[in-house]
Amino acid sequence: MSELLIENRGAVRILTMNRPEKRNALNQALTQALLEGLRAAEADDGVRAVVLTGAGVAFCAGADLAEFKELTPENAQLVERRAALTMELHGIFSQLSKPVVTAINGAAMGGGAGLALAGDVALMASGAKLGYPEVKHGIVAAVVMANLVRNVGRKAAFELVAGGEPVDAARALALGLINGVSAPDRLMADACAHAEKFAAVDREAMAATKALFYRVFDLPFAQALEAGRDVNKRMRAFRKP
């Protein structure tokens, strides 16, 4: 059975993490499949937006603990490769020119919470929870912290990673972690509606908007204005006669 299900609905590609018996925990195979699935969506001219969700009752339980027993100091090369793969996955979303909507259908924990927030827009089922429990297991919410601190205020982010307690959908919305809450039976329809709206936008304008959005976030104000000025001049070429 494939770790990742792929479905096209018009110009929207739906990627479904498909390890329901493991609550879609991220083993190496699923992580690699996600990377390849996102890259394939980016390369496909027929795809204009992506929806990411999970099969079964969970969105993603985070890293697959079954693989942790091999990630020891004695296996430094394996540890390095796995860490690099995780970093690559959580970093790819902002590098894509096409918008990604995450449909958080159930629990999103640790690395799963990181994936949920890595999307450009995040919708959450009303009964789902999101959290970073790593500290309770004596480890650190490490790679996923980069996206978290860019999505929520410092005080809330620290409480999430240092306290390890999950938040429900209403709290996630209040904190600005997600864009909206849907009834479980409406989640995918709402996520696809968002994706279809983005897919209808001019391709070049969307790509430039997304690239500039992520670029200006980390720039000093004056440089961010300059970056905006450069795109402002270039976007004249987007307009069709």
Determine contact, residues 117/148, Cβ cutoff 8 Å: yes
Across residues 168-185, what is the average pLDDT?
98
- pLDDT per residue as tens digits for the range 19-31: 999 999 999 999 9
Lowest mean pLDDT among 4-13, 148-157, 232-241: 232-241
Catalytic residue among 3, 80, 134, 226: 134
101, 50 contact by CB (below 8 A): yes
**In 10 A of CB 42, how many CB atoms?**
15
Tokens for 13? 């590609």
Confidence band for 218, pLDDT divided at 50, 70 and 90? confident
pLDDT at 138 > cutoff 60:
yes
67, 17 Cβ separation under 8 angstroms: no
- How confident is the model at residue 238, as a pLDDT? 65
Please check the confidence at residue 192 and state whether its pLDDT lies above 80.
yes
Catalytic residue list contains 159: no
When pLDDT is cut at 50, 70 and 90, the band that residue 63 belongs to is: confident
The predicted model scores a pTM of 0.93
**Domain boundaries in the chain?**
4-198, 202-238
Section 45-71 average pLDDT: 90
Give me the amino acid identity at 114: G
The CATH class that applies to domain 4-198 reads alpha beta
Confirm if 141 and 90 have CB atoms less than 8 A apart.
no
Per-residue pLDDT of 92-107, as tens digits, reads 999 999 999 999 999 9
